[in-house]
Every structure is written in C-alpha cells, then in structure tokens.
Structure 1
Amino acid sequence: MYGYAPAKHLVAAAMSPQVVRSSKFRHVFGQAAKADHCYDDIRVSQMTWDSTFCSVNPKFVAMIVDASGGGAFMVLPLNKTGRIDMSYPTVCGHKGPVLDIEFCPHNDNVIASGSEDCSVMIWEIPDGGLTSPLTRPVVKLEGHSRRVGILGWHPSARNVLLSAGCDNVLILWNVARGQAVVRMDDLHPDVIYGACWNRDGSKILTSCKDKTLRVLDPRKGVVLQEKEKAHEGSRPVRAVWVSDGRILTTGFGRMSERQVALWDLEDFSSPLTLQEVDTSSGVLLPFFDTDTGVVYLCGKGDSSIRYFEVTEEAPYVHYLSMYSSMDSQKGMGYMPKRGLEVNKCEIARFYKLHEKKCEPIVMTVPRKSDQFQEDLYPDTAGPEPSAEADEWFAGKDAPPVMLSLKDGFVATAKAVEFTLHKSLLKSGNVGGGASGGGGAAGGAEAQDVSALRRELKSLKATLEELSQRVSTLENKTH
C-alpha cells in the first residue's frame, strides 16, 4: 500500500506537461485605466447596429455619438481625457445617424464614416483636434441606395476603401478620385453582416444574413469560395482572417449559444474546431492580432473581453483568460500595434464605450525585465502604403510595409500626405460638393483651405514656443 501513492504521483507528473500548455500569453491580464485617463460625459449613440462604434489610432479616438437632426461622431486627441464638455465640437455632416467609422491606416488624420443617409464621407482631422464643428467632408462618396453600415480601408494600398450597405451591395472606392471602381451588387442575396480584407488585401471575406461565408476576389468581383451555414443559428456571424489559408468566425448555434470556430480554406466542409463560448445574446466582435496570434472576443452588451491564442496544433483555438468589469460595453475601439507602449509589455489596448464614458483597457504580459521583448513585438504593419490605389486596381498586390517597435513608434504630423486627384478637384465633388463652386473654383478652394491649415499649424507652434519661454522666465523670477 505504501508503493501505490508514489506510483500515482509519477503518473500525475508524467501527465502534467500535457495538462498545462506552454504559452507566453498564458498570464495576459487586462486592467482598466484610472479615472483621470478616461473620457467622461460622452453621449454614446443609442443605435442598435452591430458595429464597433469606435475607432482609434496613435493620435485620436473617435466615437459615434447621439445628435439631433442628423448623425455625428466625436474625435478626441488621446491626451484630452477627463470630462468632455457638452459643447465640444463634433463631425456632423451626415443627414442620418452614423453607423460605422474607420481611421485610415496610412494617415492618422483621415477617417471615413458611413451613415443611414446612404453616403460615405471622408474627413481630415487637424492635428490638435477640432476647435469648431466639422460639417464639410473632404470627399463624399455616393453609390449605395440604403444605409451604409460597414467600412474597411485596404491594409496596404493607399486610398482604397470598401463599403457595404443594407442594399446588399459591396463597393470598392478609389477615394483620391472619388470613384466607385468595383461594384458587387449580385453576390449577396441578403444583408451583409461583415466584410474584411486579408493581410495583403488580395481577398475579401464576407458574412451574410443567408448564413453563408464568402471569399471574394475584390478586383474581379467574383466569389472564390463559400461556406453555407458556418453557424446554425440565425443571429449575425462575424469573421476575420487568421492567415491566408485560415479564417476565424463567431456566431450562434442552433440553441442560440455563442460559438467560435476556425476554418481551413483547403477544406471548407467542416471547421478545424468549433467551441461553445456561453449563452449570452450579444454579437461577438473578433479582433485578431496577426503579429502574435491572439484573438480578442468582445460581445456587444457584455461586460467582458475574452482572449484566445490561435495555434497550428489541435484544438487550434486555446482559451487564455478573460477581462471583466461592472459596466456593459456598447462599442469597442482597437488600437493598432504601433500605438502601444512597448516598454510596459502592452500587447493590446481597447477603448471601451459605456453609457456615457470611454474607458481604455490595457492588456499586458507581466515581465520582470525592462528590456525590449522581441518575442512579444515582431515587426508590425506601419503607416507607409506599399501601393497606390491606381496600382492596386490595376492588379498590383503588395504586403504591408513593416516596421520595428524596438524604439517605439512616434506619430508624425502626417505620415502620408492625403491628396486628392486633380480629376476630383476639377469635378467639384470636394467638401461635400458645395453648389456654385464646381470646376476650377473647387480646386482653388481646396488649395486655399490647405494653405490656411498650414498657416494655422505654424501659428500654433509659435504660440506654444512663446508660452514655454514665458513659463521659463516666470520660474526664474520666482
């Protein structure tokens, strides 16, 4: 009898390496920012559309807000935290509620918005944020017949934007020309729930109300692959690319349980893995980090963020942990990797919208060393585009231009200058296509506005320098 216990102990020891999977992300934990680093008194939109309602980059955080007589969203510099005055200026050019917003990956000052008024608008935000309401977009894109609820900038080609609306149409725009270059109006028989690019922008993945996933060739406008009933439930499905050959989906089962699944495009007949998450009713929005292989699932109406690691070995999707809070989330913004604080081992940052608040949530990996952690921060996509819109539409594919985060990323005034093609300036479709100012007058007006912006920026820099000098002199006097 005395020999049995050690034998049992040896068996347990032999099995333990298989029970606890080795992963550098096992101890990831989420922490909410302190109260003075939050954004308070935000009138978050009450719309029920299943978009993120928030977009963020290393300069700004943008949030869709309620507005009377149309649609609006707010753009705040990241450092403008605390209570936001009710009179703070908004971007308010839409005639209907705003449903989706998306910052351009190649210019941190440019943001796109889609609305119930069937239009897509492109806006340019000044470096210090808004000082007055912004009502005239840089470009207005019209082509949808019903509300526009999905936007997505091309990851590597400059000025290429996709939009999808409740008219079941997906459009690819050349923003610099203000033109709809590709229009896919017969591929989806019902409302499009989601659309996203793969890593180099050579394919588009969509999910639809007909329960079918579709992989599209964006320039030819044809379906390459499709999967019917990826999830049995009737609630919306969301999908993201994990790699060029695999996709991850979130949806609902036959009994309305929430699920996450991983699919291999070489065998689209059945998932590599299908896991039940819980029985809540909110749509799970997936945010995938292509650099580390970690996916974050944020449910609308939930009070938690779950994170999983996607690997090459079964069961492929490994649960890591969960961040929970008391407040339910109405929307979520996901910071690009170049906006993280690498010296604090921060691997993700979310901007969580509550009823009247935007709260940063920081995900970190605890490390004792203060040295740069190369395994946590492989090279990531930078703001420099690898192709122009005309080149991409002509057939050029190019992966994103990568950058190292070893010395951190410093946001410049304008990483890539946003310019309009001369054909668009001549057409007069600038600044919302104001009447009476078409032709050459439209181009002259745009140039005058650019000159004023440059002069204003110079004056702000001079004022800041003078203020610092006055402060220094006051300190010497005292």
Structure 2
Amino acid sequence: MANSDNWTQVLAYLLTPADRKMSRKVVRSSKFRHVFGQAVKADQCYDDIRISQMTWDSNFCSVNPKFVAMIVDASGGGAFMVLPLSKTGRIDMAHPTVCGHTGPVLDIEWCPHNDNIIASGSEDCSVMIWEIPDGGLTKPMTEPVVMLEGHSKRVGILSWHPTAHNVLLTAGCDNVLILWNVARGEAVLRVDTLHSDMIYSASWNMDGSHILTSCKDKKLRVLDPRKGSVISEKEKPHEGSRPVRAVFVSDGKILTTGFSRMSERQVALWDPNNFKEPLTLQELDTSSGVLLPFFDPDTGIVYLCGKGDSSIRYFEVTDETPFVHYLSMYSSKESQKGMGYMPKRGLEVNKCEIARFYKLHERKCEPIVMTVPRKSDLFQEDLYPDTIGPEPSVEAADWFAGKEGQPIRISLKDGFVATKTKEFKVHKSLLTTTSTATGGRLGNGTDVQSLQEEVKKLRDTVEELTERVTALESKN
C-alpha cells in the first residue's frame, strides 16, 4: 500500500495543475480509461523529409489507408510529398513531389471517397485536385486534374464533404467560403458576406448538412451551406484573441479550443440550440500553440494536438456531466509541426488500435498508435461499431439540389478490404471559365487547351475505329 501512495505522490508532482485538478475527480468507469499512445519503431518512420517551415495553423499532413502526404519546403513555389504507407525509412532527397503551385502549400486533404484523390490549397490563391497513381509518384507531378480558382487571397482551409461525392469546401484569407463541384471545376455556392474577418476553421457535421466556422471576428457560426445562411452563432466562445478551432461532436454538440483572456488554453463544449453558456469549459495550460481537435464519432474520444507541443491530450465526450472527461496524455520529447489522422478503416483492428496519428517533426514523420489494452485477440465489437466507409451516399449535383445523404457504414470485423476505387471522372467539356452561380472568375486559361486535347483524342479514336472498319470490310 505504501508503494501505491508513493506512486500517487510522484504522479501528482509530474502533472500540470489542470491535469491534477482533473485527476482529483472520482475515477469514472470507461473502457477507454487505459488507452495509451505509443510511437512506432524507428524503421517504421519516414525520415529525411524537409517539412515546411510555414507558420500556418493547418495539419500539414493528411493520411488514408494508402498514402501519407506531407507539406514540404520547396524553392520557387509550393510542394507536398506523397508516399505509400509502406515506404518507410530514409526517403531520398530527390524523391518526386507534387509541385504545381506557384506559392507555398497551406493545406492538403485526401478525398474520403477516393484514396487516390487529394486537394491542395495555396498562398497562390488557387486550389488544385491531384490524382496520385497507386504505387505513388515516380516523377514530379506538376499538372493537376482540376484547378479551382475563385479566391482572391491565399487558401488555407480545405474540407471534403463527408457524404456527397466531389463536393469540396474551401476558405481563404479573403473571408470567403466556397463550395465546389470538383468534377465540373465549378463554384456552386459562394458565402462571402457572413464573415467579416479571416476564417480560422471550417468543418462539416456528420451528414454534411451544416458547416461550423470560427472566425477572427470572435464569432462561432453554424451555417446552412445551401441557403448561405446562419442557423445559430456564438459571440466570443473563448475570451482570448488567439485562434479558435471548432468541430461537431456527438448529438450535434460543438467542441471548441481557444484561449482565455490570460492566454490559457481552453476546451469547451456547446449545445448549438442554447449557445448562452458552455456545457463545460476547462482550462488546460499556458502554452501558445493552437490546439487542433480530432474527433472520433465511433468512440466519442476527442484528441487535442497542439502545434509546437510535444503531447496529445485525449478526452471522452459523453452526455453525463462534466461532458468532456479527461482520459490521459501521450507525451514525447520532440514538438510536433503538424499532425495527420488516419480514418478508422485504415487501423489494425486485431491490435485494438483505435486511432493513429502521423506526427511531423523537423525532418521526419512518426506514426503514433493509440491502443486499448485487451488480452483477447478476437474482434472487439464494442471498440469497433460499424464505421464510415469510403462510399459516398449522394452525388454532388443531387446534394446541391437539396438531397441529403447519410454516411454509409461498413463493418471492420474482417478488417477493411479496399474495393475498386471509384473512378474520378472530370467533365472536361463542363469545366467553366466563369461560374454562373457566383459570377466569379474560375478559369485559368487552360480550359481551351484541355478541350483541344479532348477533341484530338476523340479524332484519334474515330480514325482508329475507321481503320478497323475498313480492315474488316476488306476481309469480307
């Protein structure tokens, strides 16, 4: 018993005041109480990568079950590197990159419905859509499959619609939010009057019927994207002037991270139907890095990763007070420059892995695995309810016309088996130089060229068919 008391004293000494305050509460029963984080072995990291030195507050990393993508330093423009997950170890300095932007890349995000499609936003005001070949890059990629132009200042936020195929949300430093039909290269909806200052974050709810934004004007807004209207808003969710991040969590509630007037980092939970007071507001520490929240709807766990921190805190969000329950913290020696978060279908369920992060250092990317300790090697149904799969439930045109699409869920009982990837079809003949919906300039002058190439391909096909017909006729 004495040893146990000594250990408690040591723990109390090591914890921050905020963590001590949380640990004094009655220990509640939870299957996630003992979740622990662990970095992979050195040979499973991605080494010798020059991670971007930009100070922008995005993740700088995006992962899916096939690839890991990281924003890297590039001379004379912007670039990001894409590696197959299996290509670990030291990466050759001459490894090809995706390098079509003329300014630094600020944000990248894989399409949830096609593991070969990734979007990038840049300081050059453009958004580009890229199709990565299955084995990764063998040469530098400079030509996107689609280029989206409609922002007048740098584009720092990208978010694919969770259920609608080929719908992308972008937000720029021009205080404008645009919803694109990517396959048509068309800006269908443009929200340019609601935000009076720079947008800090923009994210969808589970079925993509609402968008949540936080803004430099100190307002949190829940938007109906297709009407371009505000459903509800909260003035000053956090008193401090530093950036606020916000995500939807279970039951339509909203979790925010921000700063107090005394620059202490905070996490809060809100009910958007009654924005007056937070359901809970907890102070964490006095670090200056913005806390990036990652929410897992299957487990109800939210992970807070601070840029410049060396830790990942995680909490369980429930419907019992105080609603956001501190679980634990993963700490390491080196600080993180960015963080990628693997979709649930990319995890190893036979190892009780419930989350995997890809932590960016100065010169490498290090996977960190979150595990629930279980002795049985059988499939743990309580840890892995049916999760969101890669299949979209509604097409872009139908969604913009008002149709809703609920997430299509899959079982992970036998692990995720990738089916044939849904082909990314670009309607080149429909790529427009002007958006009828917005009146904004969208083309980049290459549409005529792409049409000419399309016509040339059609001509070649017709000639080939004519030759075959002639050959068949001569045989008869």
- Report the TM-score when normalising by structure 1: 0.87
Q: What residue is the counterpart of 1:418 in the other structure?
A: 424
Residue pair 1:138, 1:430 contacting (<8 A) in 2 also: no
Counterpart check, 1:92 vs 2:99:
yes
In the TM superposition, what is the alpha-carbon distance from 1:266 to its structure 2 partner? Answer: 1.7
Cα deviation code 1:425-450 (max 9, x no counterpart): 697999976476243524656999xx
Structure 2 unaligned spans of 5+: 1-24, 435-440, 461-476
Alignment of structure 1 residues 207-246 onto 2, 5 Å: 207-246=214-253
Q: What residue is the counterpart of 2:171 in the other structure?
A: 164
Q: What residue is the counterpart of 2:264 in the other structure?
A: 257
Q: What residue is the counterpart of 1:393 in the other structure?
A: 400
Cα deviation code 1:77-115 (max 9, x no counterpart): 000000001100000000000000000000000000000
Counterpart check, 1:61 vs 2:77:
no
Alpha carbons of 1:425 and 1:247: their partners in 2 closer, same or farther (altered >3 Å)?
closer
Residue pair 1:426, 1:442 contacting (<8 A) in 2 also: no
Cα deviation code 1:361-401 (max 9, x no counterpart): 00000000110000100111100000000000000011111
Cα deviation code 1:411-435 (max 9, x no counterpart): 34x4211111253369799997647
Among candidates 92, 108, 116, match of residue 109 of structure 1: 116
Residue type of the alignment partner of 2:33:
R
Q: What residue is the counterpart of 1:289 in the other structure?
A: 296
Q: What residue is the counterpart of 2:453 in the other structure?
A: 441
Alpha carbons of 1:99 and 1:426: their partners in 2 closer, same or farther (altered >3 Å)?
closer
Q: % of aligned pairs identical?
A: 80
Residue type of the alignment partner of 1:28:
V
Distance of 1:441 and 1:360 partners within structure 2? 42
Alignment of structure 1 residues 132-147 onto 2, 5 Å: 132-147=139-154
Q: Secondary structure at the match of 1:75?
A: strand
Residue pair 1:427, 1:439 contacting (<8 A) in 2 also: no
Distance of 1:438 and 1:285 partners within structure 2? 39
Distance of 1:446 and 1:248 partners within structure 2? 52
In the TM superposition, what is the alpha-carbon distance from 1:274 to its structure 2 partner? Answer: 0.1
Q: Secondary structure at the match of 1:437?
A: helix
Among candidates 351, 359, 377, match of residue 344 of structure 1: 351
Q: What residue is the counterpart of 2:19 in the other structure?
A: none
Distance of 1:420 and 1:435 partners within structure 2? 12
Residue pair 2:299, 2:383 contacting (<8 A) in 1 also: yes
In the TM superposition, what is the alpha-carbon distance from 1:20 to its structure 2 partner? Answer: 1.7
In the TM superposition, what is the alpha-carbon distance from 1:265 to its structure 2 partner? Answer: 1.4
Alpha carbons of 1:221 and 1:425: their partners in 2 closer, same or farther (altered >3 Å)?
closer
**Higher mean Cα deviation, 238-247 or 354-363?**
238-247
Structure 1 unaligned spans of 5+: 1-17, 449-478
Counterpart check, 1:24 vs 2:23:
no
Residue pair 2:185, 2:432 contacting (<8 A) in 1 also: no
Distance of 2:52 and 2:450 partners within structure 1? 35
Distance of 1:197 and 1:351 partners within structure 2? 22
Distance of 1:306 and 1:433 partners within structure 2? 47
Alpha carbons of 1:426 and 1:266: their partners in 2 closer, same or farther (altered >3 Å)?
closer
Q: What residue is the counterpart of 1:303 in the other structure?
A: 310
Q: How many residues align?
A: 431
Cα deviation code 1:325-383 (max 9, x no counterpart): 01100000000000000000000000000000100000000000110000100111100
Distance of 1:350 and 1:23 partners within structure 2? 22
Distance of 2:118 and 2:398 partners within structure 1? 22
Alignment of structure 1 residues 448-467 onto 2, 5 Å: none
Among candidates 113, 117, 123, match of residue 130 of structure 2: 123
Residue type of the alignment partner of 1:67:
A
Alpha carbons of 1:320 and 1:140: their partners in 2 closer, same or farther (altered >3 Å)?
same
In the TM superposition, what is the alpha-carbon distance from 1:238 to its structure 2 partner? Answer: 0.2
Please, what is the CA RMSD of the aligned residues?
2.1
Cα deviation code 1:44-96 (max 9, x no counterpart): 00000000000000000000000000000000000000000110000000000
Among candidates 399, 407, 416, match of residue 409 of structure 1: 416
Residue type of the alignment partner of 2:74:
A
